[in-house]
């Protein structure tokens, strides 16, 4: 299915925006490494929705405006994004780092959201559960950690980048470090604010997630009123790649209003 890839000035930021499909709007917020590239699961969702997949400010070919210093700032930017594009009652999907942004956004103000899917969102810390340091890993180590089946999807970053790709990767790493390095992938205020999310919410987690083990799934589910949790077998941190069909089926069923099932 064809999609567009354009640079638009939105809320004062030159933003790379991927768009494809027809139907109700679905906003997809990408993870820490994948900005600005159309993914196979976007293609699946675009058969039923208009998928809007922005590259976060500072990621992909999007501008780094300089004033974004935290994930909360990212969340406020995306509230401006929704308002400026006139998007209301949208379905929002956020994965990993993008799930953190989506959770922050929904905890601040969720009146423009219809339903929310968070796939293995970061943003909270459980003191007794160890997490690996993604900033300390090389590309091949990161791939082995993120995916149970990396061969099933498009890699989140090129292993042998061109000059332009290397420049984009370096900018992304700088932005990620700026907003998520200290404290490490955490907003200490978020956990107690998750109770403010008042839209139907589905959490999706890989059963073999080694980046954010399953106790994080339970903590998120228990903190968001009425949230459902689906744990996908034979999957690591990114079920959208490891078990793409199962992930898409869970998202589509939830957005159609079917019970989420799972745990």
* CATH code for the domain in which residue 62 is found: 3.40.50.1820
- Dihedral (CA of 227, 50, 55, 88) sign: negative
| C-beta separation of 91 from 59 below 8 A | no
User: Residue 55: inside a domain, yes or no?
Assistant: yes
> Stretch 101-126: mean pLDDT, rounded?
97
- Helix ranges (DSSP H) in the chain: 40-45, 71-84, 97-108, 139-146, 163-180, 190-193, 214-223, 239-242, 244-255
Q: Which tens digits make up the pLDDT trace of 182-235?
A: 999 999 999 999 999 999 999 999 999 999 999 999 999 999 999 999 999 999
Q: Which tens digits make up the pLDDT trace of 147-184?
A: 998 776 666 666 666 777 778 888 899 999 999 999 99
3-state SS of 41-61 is HHHHHCCCCEEEEECCCCCCC
What per-residue confidence (pLDDT) applies to 261? Answer: 46
User: Residue 197: inside a domain, yes or no?
Assistant: yes
What per-residue confidence (pLDDT) applies to 218? Answer: 98
Confidence check: pLDDT of 33 > 60: yes
Lowest mean per-residue pLDDT among 1-10, 45-54, 170-179, 250-259 = 250-259
In DSSP terms, which residues pair with 9 in a beta bridge? 14
Is 116 in a helix, a strand, or coil?
strand
Residue 4 CA to residue 231 CA, distance in Å, equals: 33
User: Residue 261: inside a domain, yes or no?
Assistant: no
| C-beta separation of 6 from 14 below 8 A | no
User: Residue 263: inside a domain, yes or no?
Assistant: no
In DSSP terms, which residues pair with 14 in a beta bridge? 9
What's the total number of domains in the chain? 1
| C-beta separation of 64 from 177 below 8 A | no
Confidence check: pLDDT of 117 > 80: yes
Residue 229 CA to residue 137 CA, distance in Å, equals: 29
Q: Which tens digits make up the pLDDT trace of 55-99?
A: 999 999 999 999 999 999 999 999 999 999 999 999 999 999 999
What per-residue confidence (pLDDT) applies to 68? Answer: 97
Torsion of CA 178, 182, 187, 189, to 10 degrees: -120
- Which structural domain, as residue segments, surrounds residue 196? 3-255
Mean pLDDT of the chain: 92
What per-residue confidence (pLDDT) applies to 224? Answer: 98
Q: Which tens digits make up the pLDDT trace of 96-112?
A: 999 999 999 999 999 99
What per-residue confidence (pLDDT) applies to 161? Answer: 65
User: Residue 262: inside a domain, yes or no?
Assistant: no
What per-residue confidence (pLDDT) applies to 180? Answer: 96
Residue 93 CA to residue 27 CA, distance in Å, equals: 6
In terms of Cβ atoms closer than 10 Å to its own Cβ (0-12, 13-18, 19+), residue 164 is exposed
What per-residue confidence (pLDDT) applies to 225? Answer: 97
Confidence check: pLDDT of 26 > 80: yes
| C-beta separation of 122 from 99 below 8 A | yes
Q: Which residues contact 18 (CB under 8 A, 6 or more apart)?
A: 3, 4, 5, 36, 37, 38, 42, 51, 52, 53, 54, 55
User: Residue 49: inside a domain, yes or no?
Assistant: yes
| C-beta separation of 56 from 98 below 8 A | yes
Residue 220 CA to residue 76 CA, distance in Å, equals: 21
Residue 94 dihedral angles phi and psi, to the nearest 5° = -130, 135
What per-residue confidence (pLDDT) applies to 151? Answer: 76
User: Residue 53: inside a domain, yes or no?
Assistant: yes
Residue 42 dihedral angles phi and psi, to the nearest 5° = -60, -45
User: Residue 72: inside a domain, yes or no?
Assistant: yes
Confidence check: pLDDT of 263 > 70: no
């Amino acid at each position: 299915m064809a999609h567009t890839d354009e640079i638009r000035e939105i809320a004062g930021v030159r933003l790379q925006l991927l768009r494809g499909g027809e139907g109700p709007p679905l906003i997809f917020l990408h993870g820490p490494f994948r900005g600005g590239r159309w993914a196979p699961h976007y293609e699946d969702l675009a058969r039923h929705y208009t998928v809007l997949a922005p590259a976060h400010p500072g990621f992909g070919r999007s501008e780094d405006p300089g004033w974004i210093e935290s994930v909360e700032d990212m969340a406020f930017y995306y509230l401006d994004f929704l308002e400026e594009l006139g998007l209301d009652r949208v379905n929002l999907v956020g994965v990993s780092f993008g799930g953190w942004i989506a959770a922050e956004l929904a905890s601040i103000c969720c009146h423009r959201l219809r339903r929310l899917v968070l796939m293995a969102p970061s943003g909270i810390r459980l003191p007794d559960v160890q997490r690996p340091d993604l900033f300390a890993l090389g590309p091949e180590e990161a791939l082995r950690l993120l995916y149970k089946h990396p061969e099933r999807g498009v890699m989140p970053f090129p292993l042998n980048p061109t000059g332009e790709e290397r420049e984009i990767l370096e900018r992304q790493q700088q932005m990620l470090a700026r907003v998520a390095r200290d404290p490490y992938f955490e907003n200490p205020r978020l956990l107690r604010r998750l109770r403010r999310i008042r839209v139907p919410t589905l959490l999706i987690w890989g059963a073999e997630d080694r980046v954010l083990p399953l106790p994080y799934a339970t903590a998120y589910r228990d903190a968001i009123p009425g949230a459902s949790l689906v744990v996908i077998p034979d999957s690591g941190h990114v079920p959208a790649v490891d078990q793409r069909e199962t992930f898409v089926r869970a998202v589509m069923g939830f957005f159609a209003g079917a019970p989420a099932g799972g745990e």
